[in-house]
Amino acid sequence: MKRVKEEPNMETKFSVIDEKNIDKEAIAQAGQILKEGGLVAFPTETVYGLGGDALNKESSRKIYAAKGRPSDNPLIVHIAELDKLEAIVQEIPESAKKLAKEYWPGPLTMILKKSQLVPMETTGGLQTVAVRMPNHQVALELIKAAGGYVAAPSANTSGKPSPTLACFVKEDMDGRIDMILDGGQVGIGLESTIVDLTEEMPIILRPGYVTKEMLEKTLGIPVASDRTMMHADCKEAPKAPGMKYRHYAPKGDLTIITGEEQSVVERINCLTKSMREKGEKVGIIGTDETIAKYHADSVKSAGNRKEEETIARELYRILREFDDEGITVIYSEGFAEDGIGQAIMNRLLKAAGHHVENV
């Protein structure tokens, strides 16, 4: 699929903005840029988004170019008010109403049948549209100022980890977009859960903070998961086009080691020793519980196993830091595949190209 990444050719404005005391002028300026077809990166509660007017096909084209994203990988349309949903979809199923009531604004994206209003450029040629209402005051104000519909994928160069801080957006997007709104570190750190509501049974296409169990509880019916989410051996194409691309990839060669804690620590130390002898620069992703037990060029704790939210928040930052440190080989501990752990494991598995060793 066509992938064009244009050279940086513009000046990018950078504006620090406080969610609790929003600078109305900065929002008005950013909203105007979006209305005129420009691009603005902004914080959400999941990761930073790269926004453009979702109803302007030229803006969507610019988003693909700035990210170097394949143009068959559809964008999520962000709204700030529920009554804006009707115009961009053919119908709002009961399930969508229930989920919106429970989880919006929040880290849940719903796939619905699109209306004529949404250009094919925004949906990557699909007849469906992904919609979300983010839970971040800056994002909500910006969407309103832009006219109500902001297409926003994560604000990273395609293939790199999603940005959880504005400095990472700057690293990837400086000179390629009109403005960056710096709202500090994001709260969740992993992208939204995506649920497809266009078929009889709801199906999760990407795991996130809102889990299968939570969706089932709200809907009162079973919810399926796209099998390709966690299995490398799956021959089917993922239903979310973006999930087929190797995402979140650090420069170093990443392997996940799973198993009982002591065996994992021993195996990682053993692998690290032999790789360092071969001249590799090794980074390890451990947890607060284990990092003191590791010896490598760079050892980082992703957070506390008892609070997996901390791991979700730090994971992408760590992967980017290893890139900056010139790490060539990375070993990571595995995480439980339930709750937010499933989303963490899904992103790690993709970053590792499904390279896992169980000890």
Q: Name the residues that contact ligand AMP, by CB under 6 A.
A: 73-76, 111, 123, 126, 128-130, 153-154, 191, 194, 205, 239-243
240, interface contact from Mg ion, ligand AMP, none, CB < 5-8 Å by kind: ligand AMP
**Strand, coil or helix: what is 137?**
helix
Distance (Å, whole) CA 313 – CA 14: 23
Smaller CB separation from ligand AMP, 30 or 112: 112
Distance (Å, whole) CA 330 – CA 272: 9
**In the complex, least distance from residue 322 CB atom to ligand AMP, rounded to whole angstroms:** 21
Distance (Å, whole) CA 270 – CA 177: 45
Smaller CB separation from ligand AMP, 241 or 252: 241
**In the complex, least distance from residue 234 CB atom to ligand AMP, rounded to whole angstroms:** 16
Smaller CB separation from ligand AMP, 154 or 287: 154
50, interface contact from Mg ion, ligand AMP, none, CB < 5-8 Å by kind: none
Distance (Å, whole) CA 102 – CA 66: 34
**In the complex, least distance from residue 292 CB atom to ligand AMP, rounded to whole angstroms:** 35
Q: Which stretch binds Mg ion (CB under 5 A): 3-11, 110-118, 152-160, 170-178?
A: 152-160
74, interface contact from Mg ion, ligand AMP, none, CB < 5-8 Å by kind: ligand AMP
Amino acid at 79: I
Asked if 46 interacts with Mg ion (CB under 5 A), we say no
Smaller CB separation from ligand AMP, 33 or 240: 240
Sorted by sequence, the CB contacts under 8 Å of residue 287 that are 6+ apart come out as 301, 302, 303, 304, 305, 311, 333
143, interface contact from ligand AMP, Mg ion, none, CB < 5-8 Å by kind: none
CB 253 within 8 A of CB 330: yes
Smaller CB separation from ligand AMP, 68 or 259: 68
Smaller CB separation from ligand AMP, 257 or 319: 319
- Pairing mode, if any, of strands 193-196 and 203-206? antiparallel
Smaller CB separation from ligand AMP, 128 or 164: 128
From 316, 296, 340, 321, select the one nearest 248 (Cα to Cα): 316
Give the residue nearest to ligand AMP (CB): 242
Q: What is the DSSP letter of 21?
A: B
**In the complex, least distance from residue 227 CB atom to Mg ion, rounded to whole angstroms:** 21
Give the residue nearest to Mg ion (CB): 154
**In the complex, least distance from residue 245 CB atom to ligand AMP, rounded to whole angstroms:** 8
Q: Which residues pair with 13 in a beta bridge?
A: 179
Rg of the Cα atoms in the chain:
20
95, interface contact from Mg ion, ligand AMP, none, CB < 5-8 Å by kind: none
Asked if 154 interacts with Mg ion (CB under 5 A), we say yes
Which pair of structure tokens corresponds to residue 246?
């190797």
Q: Which stretch binds Mg ion (CB under 5 A): 149-157, 251-259, 288-296, 315-323?
A: 149-157
From 136, 132, 151, 135, select the one nearest 58 (Cα to Cα): 151
3-state secondary structure 139-189: HHHHHHHCCCCEECCECCCCCCCCCCCHHHHHHHHCCCCCEEEECCCCCCC
Sorted by sequence, the CB contacts under 8 Å of residue 226 that are 6+ apart come out as 203, 204, 205, 206, 238, 239, 240, 243
Which pair of structure tokens corresponds to residue 332?
């990571």
Q: Which stretch binds Mg ion (CB under 5 A): 37-45, 151-159, 202-210, 349-357?
A: 151-159
165, interface contact from Mg ion, ligand AMP, none, CB < 5-8 Å by kind: none
Smaller CB separation from ligand AMP, 27 or 129: 129
Q: Which stretch binds Mg ion (CB under 5 A): 94-102, 153-161, 323-331, 341-349?
A: 153-161
From 187, 145, 180, select the one nearest 166 (Cα to Cα): 180
Q: Which stretch binds Mg ion (CB under 5 A): 109-117, 150-158, 196-204, 259-267?
A: 150-158
Distance (Å, whole) CA 42 – CA 38: 13
Residue 4: left if φ>0, alpha if ψ -120 to 50, beta else—which one?
beta
CA 318 from chain center: how many Å? 15
Which stretches of the chain bind Mg ion, using CB under 5 A?
Answer: 154
